[in-house]
């Protein structure tokens, strides 16, 4: 059935050459676990992407039930966990995935650094990877407030106070994110918009650039 659908689409869109150009490429011997035990360190990038996909899919599910205002936010999260089928599981996946993706990305960054994969001609890809890392940190910060419980509230207050100490732009940055004199309705609305729209858009653009450069430059050689 799937083959028939693929053939029908391919007959009209000619997608096979495009798919082969993306999927059919030679993998270097040093990233093959059958030949080199150390090849496992090259899996961190793929694992990071896999967890990122889980975060996106689980986040899309959560937004179907989440209400981004200070009156209903906590209640909507409680309803999701207690009443929605598999809601608690999906929220747990999203919650723990936020930590796992940072760990995987940190390990991937260490691998790139210690194997010298950031050197010419991959300097720009290293810069893009660092930007992705900061976007992920931003997603973690903005997502932490959304349950709107006491822990999330006071953790965000502390984070904004720390942010205010940044030279030159700190005060303006806090005002932009906080949206008022206190952490309140405007803060929650802004964090939700940044978490769901702005940062995911930036993330998808950076990931596309990251993968295009990997595809053109190939996987870096061994140390």
Domains in the chain: ranges and CATH: 29-217 (1.20.810.10)
Say how many C-beta atoms besides its own lie within 10 A of residue 144's C-beta.
18
DSSP letter string over 65-77? T---STTTHHHHH
Across 15-29, 111-125, 194-208, the highest mean pLDDT is recorded for: 194-208
- Report pTM: 0.90
Distance CA 78, CA 30 (A): 48
Mean pLDDT of 152-168: 95
Mean pLDDT of 207-220: 88
pLDDT at position 157, please? 96
Q: What is the CA radius of gyration of the chain?
A: 21
Going from the C-alpha of 182 to that of each of 68, 87, 121, 168, 172, the distances in angstroms are 17, 31, 47, 21, 14
Q: What is the pLDDT of residue 36?
A: 66
**Where do runs of H (alpha helix) occur along the chain?**
2-13, 16-23, 44-63, 73-82, 87-114, 123-145, 150-164, 170-178, 185-193, 199-217
Across all residues in the chain, what is the average pLDDT?
91
- pLDDT of residue 33 exceeding 70, the answer is no
124, 213 Cβ separation under 8 angstroms: yes
Query: How many angstroms from the chain centroid is the CA of residue 106?
Result: 13
CA-to-CA separations, 100 to 3, 51, 136, 140, 197, in angstroms, rounded: 36, 7, 11, 11, 22
**Among 161, 221, 148, 128, residue whose Cα is nearest residue 189:** 148
pLDDT-derived band of residue 110, with 50, 70 and 90 as boundaries? very high
User: C-alpha dihedral over 20, 23, 25, 29, to 10 degrees?
Assistant: -150
Least confident of 23-27, 134-138, 165-169: 23-27
> Residue 104's closest CA among 154, 47, 60, 155?
47
Instruction: State the average pLDDT over residues 20-46.
Output: 74
Pull the structure tokens for residue 223.
Answer: 């140390």
Burial status of residue 2 (CB atoms within 10 A of its CB: 0-12, 13-18, 19 or more)? exposed
> Tokens representing 214?
């990997």
Residue 25 pLDDT exceeds 80: no
């Amino acid at each position: 059935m799937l083959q028939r659908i693929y053939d029908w689409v391919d007959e009209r869109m000619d997608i096979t050459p495009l798919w082969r150009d993306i999927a059919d490429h030679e993998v270097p011997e040093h990233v093959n676990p059958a030949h080199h035990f150390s090849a496992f360190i090259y899996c961190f990038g793929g694992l990071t992407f896999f967890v990122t996909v889980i975060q996106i899919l689980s986040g899309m599910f959560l937004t179907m039930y989440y209400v981004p205002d200070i009156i209903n936010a906590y209640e909507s999260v409680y309803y999701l966990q207690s009443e929605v089928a598999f809601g608690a599981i999906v929220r747990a996946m999203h919650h723990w995935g936020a930590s796992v993706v940072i760990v995987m990305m940190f390990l991937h960054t260490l691998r790139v650094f210690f194997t010298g994969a950031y050197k010419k001609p991959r300097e720009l890809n290293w810069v893009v990877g660092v930007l992705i890392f900061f976007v992920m940190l931003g997603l973690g910060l903005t997502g932490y407030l959304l349950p709107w419980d006491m822990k999330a509230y006071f953790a965000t207050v502390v984070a904004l106070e720390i942010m205010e100490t940044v030279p030159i732009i700190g005060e303006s940055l806090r005002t932009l994110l906080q949206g008022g004199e206190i952490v309140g309705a405007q803060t929650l609305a802004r964090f939700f918009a940044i978490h769901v729209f702005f940062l995911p858009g930036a993330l998808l653009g950076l990931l596309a650039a990251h993968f295009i450069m990997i595809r053109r430059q190939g996987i870096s050689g061994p140390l």
